Amino acid sequence: MSEMNRRTFLNIATGAWVASSLSPSMAATEAPPIRIGLIGCGWYGGVLLDAAYKVGGVDVVALCDVDQRHLRETAEKLRQRQGREPRTFRLYHEMLAAGGLDAVFIATPPHWHALQFLAALDAGVHIYCEKPLAYDIRECQAMVRAARAHPDRVIQIGFQRRQSLAIREVRERVQRGELGQVRQVDVQIHYTAGLLDSTPQDPPPELDWELWCGPAPKLPYSPQIGHKSWRLEKEYGHGHLVDWGIHWIDAVRWILNADVPRRVEASGTLVRYAGRITTPDTMTAVFDFDGIPVVWRHRLWGAQEYDPDTSNGVFLYGDEGTIFVTDHRWVFIPRGRPAERKTTEAKADLARLHMEDFLAAVRQRRAASGTVSDAYRSTAAVKLAMMSLDLGRPVKWDSKTHEAVGDEAIRLMKRDYRAPYVHPWRGEPWAGDTAERRDERAWRVS
Ligand SMILES: NC(=O)c1ccc[n+]([C@@H]2O[C@H](COP(=O)([O-])OP(=O)(O)OC[C@H]3O[C@@H](n4cnc5c(N)ncnc54)[C@H](O)[C@@H]3O)[C@@H](O)[C@H]2O)c1
């Protein structure tokens, strides 16, 4: 297969061909606008709206948030941008029931994703949902099942690094065998966390904290577990690996064509921020992806790294060379020829490309590139690491039944919902999805 054809095929296999070949103006001018409702008007909800406007061809007609200030400020920004204000809602099911939507963006904290995603499927709209797919593995399984029952619905999950030219190029090279056998992968994101006040206090008057907590345990409010900072709280974001590291675990799964790891062993602790956050500020997890050890490390404190250029990214060690890859750059070092070390810069607006792919998929009624099956697997991978931390021992995964091995681990796949919310997993055994067939095809042809 020629280089050109290979590239075209891989792009088709990842669902991005149409997005990259359609100019935004074509998408924007020739069809009626896609009517969008946004659930969760915080930081990333704003990023998604910006991305959608850059692509064009959208009309943001409804907003939902449990914080009246976020709702008001986002509505005002939209009024300036599109000349009229969207309808605003405190309750997402009221927004969905009001109708008039083609698609929703879900940009709430992860403990809300499952209920909102399932309600959106019921309401008949297309979905762009942020990562991680949900808070627990059973929620994810219920979401895969429901998505499978609605094959006409376009679903994009927010792993925008799947649009990275650097990661794509590395994936092609690894699959072509340019690294030889990949023997080990190291993944890391080190940064210095800026923590907020963790003293329990009244929530801001405009924030409905009861509703914000929703199906998750209701902890006393503090700024450190509120807007944007919830990521390092065990009951909400579940820590740095689940929140940010998941992007690289997803990318590694994609590069290696790997499924859920068959074994994960994690260790971690609070060496610096004990009493202020509830997930490790220092952590190592070793994932066994079909015999390839993938080692995750993070440290949220201390001075800048010895080599700051590699503090966020993935190292792939193969028999024929080493690759380091991050969002917009990758470095190749051939074995035995260090002087031929080569750095390639590959800049792209990942948020915009991922949105462009979603909106094109909605117009063309085709699959988007960030599938729910892949998001489930990447979410399961990082959750197994957190389960290993809780249990203080390795956790194994049965790839046939999609169950963790052992009663204690199986119990941790699901967190009980807070009343009156009802967990969407009803005890159904894993019934499969469509991911295996798609991956197999991409692998065979390349
Ligand atoms: N893809 C990426 O690179 C990326 C980057 C950042 C965040 N994210 C994801 O985006 C999501 C939001 O993260 P964020 O950083 O914007 O958080 P945030 O705290 O800034 O915003 C979340 C918003 O959701 C609102 N909310 C909470 N419960 C709600 C409910 N039941 N109904 C309606 N609104 C509700 C909050 O009030 C808040 O305005 C998370 O899933 C996060 O993982 C993805």
> pLDDT for 254-271, tens place per residue?
999 999 999 999 999 999
For ligand 1, atom 28, which residue shows the shortest CA distance? 212
Question: Could you tell me how many residues make up the chain?
Answer: 446
Helical H segments across 92-245, by residue range: 92-98, 113-123, 137-148, 165-176, 209-213, 240
- Any atom of ligand 1 within 6 Å of the Cβ of 240: no
pLDDT at 434: 63
CATH 3.30.2180.10 matches 169-347+377-445: no
Nearest to 178 by CA among 319, 1, 291, 341: 319
pLDDT at 438: 43
- Any atom of ligand 1 within 6 Å of the Cβ of 294: no
Label the pairing between strands 282-289 and 292-299: antiparallel
- Any atom of ligand 1 within 6 Å of the Cβ of 212: yes
Q: Please give the distance, rounded to the nearest whole angstrom, from the Cα atom of residue 148 to the centre of ligand 1.
A: 25
- Any atom of ligand 1 within 6 Å of the Cβ of 112: yes
CATH 1.10.510.10 matches 3-161+352-371: no
pLDDT at 9: 28
Q: Strand (E) positions, 306-431?
A: 312-318, 321-326, 329-334, 342-345, 395-398, 403-404
pLDDT at 296: 98
pLDDT at 432: 86
Atom of ligand 1 nearest to the CA of 44: 16
- Any atom of ligand 1 within 6 Å of the Cβ of 70: yes
Q: Please give the distance, rounded to the nearest whole angstrom, from the Cα atom of residue 165 to the centre of ligand 1.
A: 26
Q: Is the dihedral of CA 166, 161, 175, 172 positive or negative?
A: negative
Domain ranges of the chain: 3-161+352-371, 169-347+377-445
pLDDT at 346: 93
For residue 83, CA distances in Å to 60, 79, 228 come to 11, 5, 29
Q: Biggest alpha carbon distance in the chain?
A: 64
- Any atom of ligand 1 within 6 Å of the Cβ of 119: no
For ligand 1, atom 39, which residue shows the shortest CA distance? 42
* Long-range contact set of residues 436-440: C-beta below 8 Å, sequence gap at least 24: 438/13, 438/371, 439/257
For ligand 1, atom 15, which residue shows the shortest CA distance? 228
Q: Please give the distance, rounded to the nearest whole angstrom, from the Cα atom of residue 232 to the centre of ligand 1.
A: 14
- Any atom of ligand 1 within 6 Å of the Cβ of 105: no
Domains 3-161+352-371 and 169-347+377-445 fall in the same CATH topology = no
How many CB atoms lie under 10 A from the CB of residue 302?
13
For ligand 1, atom 9, which residue shows the shortest CA distance? 130
Could you please report the per-residue DSSP string of 141-167?
A: HHHHHHHHT-TTS-EEES-GGGG-HHH
Q: Is the dihedral of CA 425, 415, 47, 227 positive or negative?
A: positive
Instruction: State which residues of the chain have pLDDT below 50.
Output: 1-28, 435-446
